Chain A
Amino acid sequence: MGLVLTEEQTLLKETASQFFQEKLPVANLRKLRDEKNADGFERSTWKEMADLGFAGVLVPESYGGTEFGPVGLGIILEQAGRTIASTPLLSTVLLGTTAVQLGGSQTQRQDILPAIAAGETIMALAVEEGPHHNPTQIATTATADGDNFKLSGSKTFVIDGHIADTLIVVARTSGEVNDSNGLTLFLVNTSGTDGLEITRTIMADSRNAANVTLKDVSVPASAVLGGVDGGWDVLEPVLDAGRIGVSAELMGLIQEAFDQTLVYLKERTQFGEPIGSFQALQHRAAEMFAELEVCRSVVLDALSALEERRNDVPSLASLAKARLSEASKHITNECLQMHGGVGMTDEYDVGLFMKRARVAAATFGNAGFHRDRYAGLDGF
Chain B
Amino acid sequence: MDALEQFRADTRAWLEENCPPSMRTPMPEDESPWGGKRAVWKNPESKQWLDAMASKGWTAPQWPSEYGGGGLSKEENKVLQQELRRIKARPALMSFGIWMLGPALLEFANEEQKKEHLPKIVRGEIRWCQGYSEPGAGSDLAGLQTKCEDKGDHYLVNGQKIWTSYADKADWIFALVRTDTNVKHDGISFLLIDMEQDGVEARPITMISGASPFCETFFTDATAPKGNLVGELNKGWTIAKRLLQHEREMISGMGMGSGGGGTGLADLAKDYVGQAGGKISDATVRDSVARQKMDSHAFGLTLQRTTEEAKAGQGTGAASSIFKYYGTELNKRRNELIIELMGTQGLGWEGDSFSEAELSAPRSWLRSKGNSIEGGTTEVQLNVISKRVLGLPS
Contacts and interface: CB of A to CB of B under 8 A. Distances in A.
Given A375-B289, A380-B286, A298 B390 contact: no
Interface of B: 266-267, 269-270, 278-280, 286-287, 289-291, 293-294, 297-299, 301-302, 304-305, 308-309, 312, 314, 318-319, 322, 325-326, 379, 381-383, 385-387, 389-394
A371 B269 contact: no
A234 interface: no
Interface stretch (A60-68, A275-283, A341-349): A275-283
14 contacts: A273-B393, A282-B387, A283-B383, A285-B386, A286-B382, A289-B390, A293-B302, A293-B322, A294-B298, A297-B298, A300-B301, A300-B305, A372-B287, A375-B287
Nearest to B320: A293
A95 B272 CA distance: 42
Which of B314, B386, B391 is most buried by chain A, counting CB atoms within 10 A of its CB?
A: B386
Given A283-B386, A290-B322, A375-B289, A276 B304 contact: no
B320 to A, nearest CB: 9
Interface in A260-296: 262, 265-266, 273-274, 276-277, 279, 281-283, 285-287, 289-290, 293-296
Given A294-B299, A300-B305, A380-B270, A283 B379 contact: yes
A289 B391 CA distance: 12
A290 B279 CA distance: 32
B305 A297 contact: yes
Contact of A285 (B290, B305, B392): B392
Contacts of B379: 283
B279 to A, nearest CB: 6
Given A262-B391, A276-B392, A285-B392, 15 more contacts: A3-B305, A266-B392, A276-B393, A277-B392, A283-B382, A285-B390, A286-B325, A289-B322, A294-B302, A297-B301, A301-B301, A323-B294, A323-B298, A371-B287, A380-B279
A277 B394 contact: yes
Nearest to A327: B298
Interface string A290-322: 100111111011000000000000000001001
Q: Nearest 5 CB-CB pairs, A to B? A: A380-B266, A282-B386, A286-B385, A3-B305, A290-B322
Given A283-B382, A375-B289, A4 B309 contact: yes
Contacts of A380: 266-267, 269-270, 278-280, 286, 289-290
Nearest to B322: A290
Contacts of B293: 374-375, 378
A130 interface: no
Contacts of B308: 1, 3-4
A192 interface: no
A368 interface: yes
A294 B326 contact: yes
A374 B319 contact: no
A296 B305 contact: yes
Nearest to B267: A380
Interface of A: 1, 3-4, 262, 265-266, 273-274, 276-277, 279, 281-283, 285-287, 289-290, 293-298, 300-301, 319, 322-323, 368, 371-372, 374-376, 378-380
Contacts of B269: 380
Contacts of A289: 322, 385, 389-390
Contacts of A297: 298, 301-302, 304-305, 319
B314 A4 contact: yes
Contacts of A283: 379, 382-383, 386
Contacts of A277: 392-394
B301 A298 contact: yes
A376 B278 CA distance: 9
Q: Is the interface of B mostly helix, strand, loop or mixed?
A: helix
Contacts of A287: 382
A13 to B, nearest CB: 13
Which of A277, A293, A296, A323 is most buried by chain B, counting CB atoms within 10 A of its CB?
A: A293
A266 B387 CA distance: 11
A298 B304 CA distance: 11
Given A294-B326, A319-B297, A371-B290, A286 B386 contact: yes
Given A282-B386, A297-B302, A379 B266 contact: yes
Nearest to A300: B305
A290 B325 contact: yes
A293 B305 CA distance: 10
A322 to B, nearest CB: 6
A323 B295 CA distance: 9
Nearest to A277: B393
Contact of A279 (B270, B286, B312, B383): B383
Contacts of B389: 286, 289
Contacts of A265: 392
Nearest to B287: A371
A370 to B, nearest CB: 9
Contact of A374 (B290, B325, B393, B394): B290
Contacts of B319: 293, 297
A266 B305 contact: no
Contacts of B287: 368, 371-372, 375
A121 to B, nearest CB: 36
A375 B290 contact: yes
Given A4-B308, A290-B326, A380-B279, A266 B301 contact: no
A319 B300 CA distance: 13
Given A277-B394, A290-B322, A371 B294 contact: yes
A286 B290 contact: no
B384 to A, nearest CB: 8
